[in-house]
Amino acid sequence: MGDDWLAVDKFEHFAACLLITCFVARLAGRSTRFRRWRIHLGALIGFAAGAAKEAADATGLWGSAGASVRDGVADMIGVGGGVLFELLFSFWRFEKPILPKDGIEEV
């Protein structure tokens, strides 16, 4: 079959969108202006990259077999995986404050 669900192409779509989502979220997290919206921005850019690739496939820009719904699903699963990873990382990253051993804080 030409468009299997478990093809290498689907893994590439998944991995690309996951990495783009995570990269943009991390990059936005470094900015004080975008830190609050970092996961939203990562998901938006990951989704846009997947949609742009499918649009280019539909127009024959890269000479591929054409746009595929299954490629789009793999893109969306990749974006979802990136969002989930970033959410889990953001909860894990925040550590409890360390209290002084004697119970007295230095000022």
Residue at token pair 């990259």: 49
pTM, two decimals, is: 0.79
Please tell me which residue, 106 or 57, carries the higher pLDDT value.
Answer: 57
Q: What is the pLDDT of residues 77-86, one digit of tens each?
A: 999 999 999 9
Dihedral sign, Cα of residue 63, residue 67, residue 71, residue 72: positive
Two tokens at 3?
């468009």
Two tokens at 33?
């202006």
Dihedral sign, Cα of residue 78, residue 80, residue 86, residue 89: negative
Q: How far apart are CA 96 and CA 50, in angstroms?
A: 38
Q: Within 10 A of 48 (CB to CB), how many other CB atoms are there?
A: 14
Q: How far apart are CA 24 and CA 50, in angstroms?
A: 14
Q: What is the pLDDT of residues 19-45, one digit of tens each?
A: 999 999 999 999 889 989 999 999 999
